[in-house]
Amino acid sequence: MKKIIDKYKIILKSTSENIKSELVSHLEKVDYSKTNAQVQILNPQKENDLDEIIYGSGFYIILTDNIFSDNKCTFKLKNQVAIYRGHSTFVKKRLQSHLANNKYNENESTYKVCLKIEDGVNGININEKPYNTWGWTVVVHKMRNSDKLMREQAEYAFDELYGKPCKSRE
């Protein structure tokens, strides 16, 4: 049995690397200047703006104009830099848990680990200070019918291209 398990671990690792490699090539070609059929770009100014995000599966990037000295990520749109990247089966709910955490927790509590700007505080609320003075952008790569492995490889492909955003955790 151990030989079979080891064999499939090797196959899975190879498959994961192939998926990541293809996603790196794909991400290099994406035009982030506007929303299109595969990419949704939103500049939320208040929590209700997050309602416009797709509900389905995807890979997402959170950017802000606030500067973090420990951020080595080079992914930028206009004057904002990526601080977090992630994936979910339900992108809208996941992004609400990160950026409208109090509102999200009134009705849901599926996601316990969220964007941490302050140590020990899960999630933020872009309607509240100091976050309501920051500029925000959310980029969603729509990945309909994707599985967790594929979406995780999108995260790793992003990290390979741009560096891991400072607020993303493993």
Rounded to whole angstroms, how far apart are CA atoms 134 and 156? 27
Rounded to whole angstroms, how far apart are CA atoms 115 and 47? 15
Let me know: does 61 contact 95? Beta carbons within 8 Å. no
Domain assignment present for 168: no
Between 5 and 73, the more confident residue is: 73
135, with CB counted inside 10 A (0-12, 13-18, 19+), is: middle
Domain assignment present for 137: yes
Give the model confidence (pLDDT) of 112-168 as tens digits: 789 999 988 999 999 999 999 999 999 999 999 999 999 999 999 999 999 999 999
Domain assignment present for 170: no
For position 94, what pLDDT does the model report?
Answer: 96
Domain assignment present for 155: yes
The strand pair at 58-64 and 39-42 is best described as unpaired
pLDDT at 11 over 90: no
Let me know: does 162 contact 79? Beta carbons within 8 Å. no
How many independent structural domains does the chain possess? 1
pLDDT at 9 over 80: no
For position 20, what pLDDT does the model report?
Answer: 87
Give the model confidence (pLDDT) of 19-47 as tens digits: 888 999 999 999 998 888 999 999 999 99
Domain that holds residue 150: 2-162
List, as one string, the DSSP characters of 120-140: T----BTTSTTGGGS-EEEEE
Tokens of 66: 């606030």
For position 96, what pLDDT does the model report?
Answer: 96
Domain assignment present for 167: no
For position 164, what pLDDT does the model report?
Answer: 98
Domain assignment present for 15: yes
pLDDT at 4 over 80: no
Among 43-52, 95-104, 112-121, the range scoring the smallest mean pLDDT is: 112-121
Rounded to whole angstroms, how far apart are CA atoms 45 and 134? 9
How many other CB atoms are there within 10 angstroms of residue 65's CB atom? Answer: 13
For position 170, what pLDDT does the model report?
Answer: 63
For position 1, what pLDDT does the model report?
Answer: 80
